[in-house]
Structure 1
Amino acid sequence: MKIRIKGNSVRYRLTKTEVETFCKTGYYEERTEFNTKTFTYALKAVDVDNLGAEFMEDTVTLLVPKKWSSNWFENNRVGFENTMILNNKSELFLLVEKDFACLDNTTEDQSDNYPNPKAC
């Protein structure tokens, strides 16, 4: 799973195996270790109406409605998005999507990515 954070925007991209694991277990996480702390980013299926997020104990968790996630790995839906209104009235844009293979040359292993719909 990849994470991209820019300003008040958080995006997760998941490979085929990660999407399937998330759908079957309701949870998926990745960790990045530093000398003194570990940063964790996670995806969790919960009983909510819309995509949300929380940041607690060095962990960013995106909360996905269970009704959306149960068969996501079996359908053509690319992902989920929502603009979350924060307590201070600012906005946090959230996006969770399937990771497509890049069209340009890259050294990154893409063997578990979804086929890019723009590929010929």
Structure 2
Amino acid sequence: MKIRIKGNSIRMRITQTEVSQLCKTGYIEEKTQFPQNTFTYALSSMADAPELTANFEQNKITLVLPSQIIEGWENNKKIGFSNSIFLNDKNKLSLLVEKDFTCLDDRGEDESDNYPNPKLQH
């Protein structure tokens, strides 16, 4: 799982194995260790979640997806899910969860579990 944060935007990309695990168990997470603390980011599905939303508590970002929207996601062509949450100060938090595709250019990363890039398909 990869996370990208820029301003009020959070994007998580997940591999084939992670999509499958999320669909089966309803939860996946990654941790980044620092000398003083550990940063955790996670995806969770909940039956009562009305839409894609986010929580940040105890150094952990959790994006929560409604269970019904991820049913069968590992077997269909749906790329991902997005939502914008309007904040009290009239700003918004943009959320995106998507399948991780192989890159068009070699970046030296292990992409063996990524989805085939549709732009490379014949």
CA offsets 1:69-110 (integer angstroms, 9 cap, x no match):
121111110000001112333100000000000011210000
- Per the alignment, residue 3 of structure 1 pairs with 3
- Per the alignment, residue 62 of structure 1 pairs with 63
CA contact (8 A) 1:20 1:73 kept: yes
- Per the alignment, residue 106 of structure 1 pairs with 107
Amino acid at match of 1:118: K
Task: Tell me whether 1:27 sits opposite 2:27 in the alignment.
Answer: yes
SS in 1 for 2:119: coil
CA contact (8 A) 1:30 1:40 kept: yes
SS in 2 for 1:23: helix
Q: For this pair of structures, how many residues does the alignment match? A: 120
CA offsets 1:51-73 (integer angstroms, 9 cap, x no match):
10010010000010111112111
In 2, distance between residues paired with 1:24 and 1:114? Answer: 18
In 2, distance between residues paired with 1:14 and 1:105? Answer: 18
SS in 2 for 1:17: helix
In 1, distance between residues paired with 2:79 and 2:60? Answer: 24
Give 4+ residue runs of structure 1 displaced > 6 Å after superposition.
none
Amino acid at match of 2:9: S
TM-score (norm 1): 0.96
Amino acid at match of 1:119: L
SS in 2 for 1:67: helix
- Per the alignment, residue 18 of structure 1 pairs with 18
SS in 2 for 1:60: strand
SS in 2 for 1:80: strand
SS in 2 for 1:112: coil
